[in-house]
Amino acid sequence: MRNDIALHTASFVARETGYAMHGWGHGDRATNEAFAPIDTFAERFDSLLAHIQGLGFDAIDIWGAHLSPAWATDEHIDAACAVLERRAMRVATYAAWIDAANVRRAC
């Protein structure tokens, strides 16, 4: 049994602001805005995972701003799964803000 240490993708909250973040909300909004468009999602998600693998990690905790139940479609999920599979990475946890409107989608 493997006991991987997972890196939480929220560690990169400031990445989409050019590391010039003005509070957590700024990084959260910028990350959601960057990852929500499906036409660039797979490329952005792959770039994030490439960086994480370069740091020596094979497992991640996905932060909701990188794959939010508020905007993620089945196409986003399929793309994320394809990137994870291609990179042989696993998801240890999923940490997203959920409410009654998106709890089913988050699950």
| pLDDT tens digit sequence for 21-39 | 999 999 999 999 999 999 9
pTM to 2 decimal places: 0.91
Mean pLDDT of 8-13: 95
CA-only gyration radius of the chain, Å? 13
Q: Is the pLDDT of residue 6 over 90?
A: yes
By residue count, the chain amounts to: 107
Reference 82, options 55, 43, 52, 54; nearest CA is 43
| pLDDT tens digit sequence for 66-105 | 999 999 999 999 999 999 999 999 999 998 887 777 777 7
**Which tokens hold the place of 6?**
């997972």
Amino acid identity of residue 76, one-letter, is: H
| pLDDT tens digit sequence for 37-65 | 999 999 999 999 999 999 999 999 999 99
Please report which helix (H) or strand (E) contains residue 103, including its range. Answer: helix 103-106
